[in-house]
């Protein structure tokens, strides 16, 4: 289970001079099914959730009273093979995780699921989201575990993630069942968290009171499934039952399904899930995201019309909105860019010649389609602007007469602290520039973003039921000072006392210094 040669294997900036953001959250999957091959179901479930995290993958299974965990750096298909899955066979209970790091470095020790021995057996846990009170929880753990044997990061080989912290906290209630320990820990967590965890007999799922990240429940003929998205239910043949409610803890074992509430629900689902993060074939709050994104494109056409000959998407993220834009505007829809689906990770170091290829490794223009045409180019978001700048240049070189850029989300002006890896606020192009200045910066003939109200309307959810923080700076979960946030907070071992007021929030959101605490939530 060592690390894959070549570091984290991510396509580096020299080969991919794009925004590299927003990077996804994580994917979680859990299955209780005594008559099924649960390890293989977890594998296929993670495969369906691969878009949510490409750094590492792992599966934990329970066989009798023994827990086995296999995890490594890389894609799901790189980590697991037939022989590995066979070694995990014979289990009735499994959880899986694919990771994009938002707390803790991208190293093997931080791959998930995490595991802790407890007085009643073993505890494995996977987490999608990001906690905002990590240091407060670490202090609580230190109080409960006086010899520091459970404190994440206390040993060099230890994990340094908020996930490891949650797992360690649950292990400090030796006289309690896993369910009762969870009911002690879950109310103390702040931020975004969708958890799947298990002991020797029971599968558990829990979702934060705001329900920021998605988590759904599905039914198999002989068991139950929980997953980050409904698409993962589809691939394993599970029928969608419902979403896990905000503030709910679900327990599943041989006695059936039980549910408890650990907090008062205050729904604030992530609006960016609708724009980009989740798969287009996923359902959120009863809406198929492909249909939502097509409707956003229609709205975008009404808000920012253009005189053009062809509407083309930036594949695949801009495709549904481009379809909607073409339908509403009457401008023909076309495929002007071809995407290389196999570019995204590499273990090959680039030469100087390859560095100059940049975005062309991922996208190539169809010159016969776009030459001499006035184009509307639809994409899902602009973060730093590097992608759009390179894309506009490439389209002009291919003969486009005009390039009108349309974006199916409002300007991203604020970082995320709830599980999406945006740039720091200082790096976000929309922070310091007007739309007209951004248009000139990327070299487009015109630029239009869909309005926040237009995007919200397409989701069929009330504005007060959505987290819109990356667009309007309104954070639904209270934030501490900047020095108490950040991807490497547990590695840094920060212990400074913070305050949470208006001035403190502004410091947390806008302040960037040598530590760049906001660069990764």
User: CA 359, CA 236: separation in Å to the nearest integer?
Assistant: 35
Residue 379 known to bind ligand: yes
User: CA 484, CA 139: separation in Å to the nearest integer?
Assistant: 13
Q: Which helix (H) or strand (E) holds 240?
A: strand 239-243
User: CA 477, CA 268: separation in Å to the nearest integer?
Assistant: 9
User: CA 518, CA 194: separation in Å to the nearest integer?
Assistant: 22
Q: Alpha helices of 280-434 — where are they, by DSSP H?
A: 289-303, 319-329, 352-355, 367-370, 386-397, 429-432
Residue 470 known to bind ligand: yes
**In a 3-state reduction of DSSP, which class is residue 319?**
helix
Phi and psi, residue 216, nearest 5°:
-130, 160
Quote the tokens at residue 214.
């998605």
Dihedral, CA atoms, 431, 489, 277, 330, nearest 10 degrees? Answer: 10
Quote the tokens at residue 179.
């369910």
Q: Is 26 a catalytic residue?
A: yes
Q: In the 8-state DSSP scheme, what is residue 132?
A: S
> From the CB of residue 161, how many other CB atoms can be counted at a distance below 10 Å?
30
User: CA 382, CA 35: separation in Å to the nearest integer?
Assistant: 47
Residue 416 known to bind ligand: yes
Q: Which residues of 82-110 are buried (b: 16+ CB within 10 A; e: fewer)?
A: eeebeebeebbbbbbbbbbbbbbbbbbbb
Omega before 519 within 30 of 0, i.e. cis: no
The residue written with tokens 């896993």 in the block is: 178
> What are the angstrom distances between the C-alpha of 475 and each of 72, 136, 246, 497, 521?
34, 19, 17, 21, 13
Spatial CA neighbour of 34 closest among 60, 64, 59, 58:
64
Quote the tokens at residue 465.
């039921």
Q: In the 8-state DSSP scheme, what is residue 46?
A: H
Q: Which of 26, 98, 194, 439 is catalytic?
A: 26
Which H, E and C letters describe 1-44, residue by residue? CCCCCCCCCECCCCCCCCCCCCECCCEEEEEECCCCCHHHHHHH
Residue 380 known to bind ligand: yes
Phi and psi, residue 136, nearest 5°:
-60, -45
User: CA 202, CA 183: separation in Å to the nearest integer?
Assistant: 15
Binding residues for Mg(2+): 317, 379-380
Instruction: Name the binding residues.
Output: 270, 317, 379-380, 416, 467, 470
Which residues line the annotated binding site for [4Fe-4S] cluster?
A: 270, 416, 467, 470
Residues with active-site annotation: 26
């Amino acid at each position: 289970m060592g690390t894959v040669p070549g570091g984290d294997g991510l396509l580096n900036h020299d080969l991919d001079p794009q925004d590299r953001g927003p990077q996804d959250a994580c994917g979680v999957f859990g299955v209780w099914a005594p008559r099924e091959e649960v390890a293989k179901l977890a594998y296929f479930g993670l495969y369906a959730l691969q878009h949510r995290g490409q750094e590492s993958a792992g599966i934990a299974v329970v066989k009798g009273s023994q827990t086995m965990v296999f995890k490594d750096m890389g894609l799901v298909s790189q980590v697991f093979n037939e022989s590995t899955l066979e070694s995990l066979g014979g289990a009735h209970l499994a959880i899986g995780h694919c990771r994009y790091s938002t707390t803790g470095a991208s190293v093997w020790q931080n791959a998930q699921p995490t595991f802790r021995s407890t007085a009643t057996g073993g505890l494995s846990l996977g987490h999608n989201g990001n906690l905002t009170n990590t240091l407060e929880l670490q202090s609580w753990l230190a109080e409960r575990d006086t010899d520091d044997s459970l404190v994440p990061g206390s040993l060099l080989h230890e994990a340094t993630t908020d996930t490891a912290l949650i797992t360690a906290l649950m292990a400090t209630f030796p006289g309690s069942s896993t369910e009762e320990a969870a009911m002690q820990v879950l109310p103390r967590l702040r931020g975004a968290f969708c958890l799947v965890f298990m002991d020797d007999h029971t599968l558990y799922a829990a979702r934060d009171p705001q329900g920021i990240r998605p988590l759904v429940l599905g039914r198999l003929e002989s068991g139950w499934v929980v997953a980050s998205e409904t698409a993962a239910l589809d691939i394993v043949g599970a029928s969608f039952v419902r979403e896990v409610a905000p503030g709910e803890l679900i327990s599943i074992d041989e006695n059936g399904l039980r549910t408890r509430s650990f907090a008062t629900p205050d729904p604030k689902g992530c609006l960016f899930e609708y724009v980009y993060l989740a798969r287009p074939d996923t359902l959120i709050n009863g809406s198929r995201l492909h249909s939502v994104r097509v409707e956003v494109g229609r709205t975008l056409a009404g808000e920012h019309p253009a005189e053009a000959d062809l509407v083309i998407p930036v594949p695949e993220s801009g495709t549904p909105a481009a379809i909607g834009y073409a339908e509403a505007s009457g401008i023909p829809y076309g495929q002007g860019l071809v995407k290389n689906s196999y570019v995204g990770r590499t273990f090959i170091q680039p030469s100087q010649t390859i560095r100059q290829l940049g975005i062309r490794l991922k996208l190539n223009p169809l010159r016969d389609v776009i030459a001499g045409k006035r184009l509307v180019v639809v994409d899902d978001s602009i973060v730093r602007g590097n992608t759009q700048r390179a894309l506009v240049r490439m389209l002009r070189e291919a003969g486009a007469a005009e390039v009108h850029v349309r974006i199916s989300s409002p300007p991203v002006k604020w970082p995320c602290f709830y599980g999406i890896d945006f740039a720091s606020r200082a790096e976000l192009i929309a922070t310091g520039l007007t739309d007209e200045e951004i248009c000139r910066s990327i070299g487009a003939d015109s630029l239009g973003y869909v309005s926040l109200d237009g995007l919200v309307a397409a989701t069929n959810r009330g504005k007060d039921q959505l987290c819109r923080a990356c667009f309007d700076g309104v954070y639904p979960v209270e934030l501490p000072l900047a020095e108490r946030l950040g991807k490497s907070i547990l590695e840094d071992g920060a212990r400074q006392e913070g305050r949470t007021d208006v001035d403190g929030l502004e410091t947390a959101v806008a302040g960037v210094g040598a530590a760049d605490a906001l660069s990764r939530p």
